[in-house]
Amino acid sequence: MKKTLVTLTAGSLLAASIAASHEGATGIVRERMDGMVAMRDAVRDLTPMMQGQVEYDRDAVIDTAAIIERHAGETMTALFPEGSDDDASYARAEIWQDWATFEAMAMRLELVAGALAEAADNPPGSAMPGQMDNSTMMGGNASMMGGGSSTMMGGGSAMMGGSVAPDPAMLAQMPVDRVFAVAAQACSACHTQFRTERD
């Protein structure tokens, strides 16, 4: 549980680091910044619920997932044509130098967002189907969240950092807070690699 909360907090802080002001941004650069802010706000609003600070609201999760899904995937990549890295942009040149990785991350986020909506029926802390309780998931024999957690959540995992796309059906069966953590980690991984940090 600690790892999930740390991931959620880190994801929230990273999302909050997106510039509050888009002074000087116009056209497609402004459009993609607005999309990123919409996702940031959605993640920020859902974080207290995923941390158990407010009552769980299934409909809010579905709405948030829809916002993320709407701005991810091809919608996101279409907003990064070559040459759109002007001074107002936070996009690194690495986006176009390693387009395949950037595109894969955008598509991965779309898949995870869809799974987040599906997982809305699994409240935070709920057990996986066939599991007695969360301790089974977190134990050493659990292939998803225990000893083999790098498969799903690790920084160098195949799901988040490699070429293997997540399995939406598998994610949809997980407790919603875990899927939210995967989504936050997907955002974090993309920002780390492709977004310029500014003061």
Distance CA 102, CA 109 (A): 11
Which of these, 71, 64, 68, 72, lies nearest to 47 by C-alpha position?
64
Which distant-in-sequence residues (6+ apart) come within 8 Å of 101 by Cβ?
193
Distance CA 116, CA 94 (A): 29
* Amino acid identity, position 172: A
Indicate the pTM of the whole model.
0.73
pLDDT tens digit string along 50-87?
Answer: 999 999 999 999 999 999 999 999 999 999 999 898 88
- The structural domains of the chain, with segments of one domain joined by +, span 2-194
Q: What is the 3-state secondary structure (H, E, C) of 104-132?
A: HHHHHHHHHHHHHHHHHHCCCCCCCCCCC
Buried b (16+ CB within 10 A) or exposed e, 141-177: ebebbeeebeebbeeebebbbeeeebebeebbbbbbb
* pLDDT tens for the 199 residues of the chain, in order: 554 554 455 444 444 444 444 567 889 999 999 999 999 999 999 999 999 999 999 999 999 999 999 999 999 999 999 989 888 889 999 999 999 999 999 999 999 999 999 999 999 988 766 554 444 344 433 333 333 333 333 333 434 444 456 788 999 999 999 999 999 999 999 999 999 876 4
Distance CA 84, CA 165 (A): 27
* Amino acid identity, position 39: M
Distance CA 61, CA 72 (A): 16
Distance CA 88, CA 74 (A): 22
Q: Going by CATH, does the domain composed of 2-194 fall within 3.10.20.740?
A: no
Alpha-carbon distances, residue 143 vs 70, 128, 131, 149, 179 (angstroms): 31, 12, 12, 7, 16
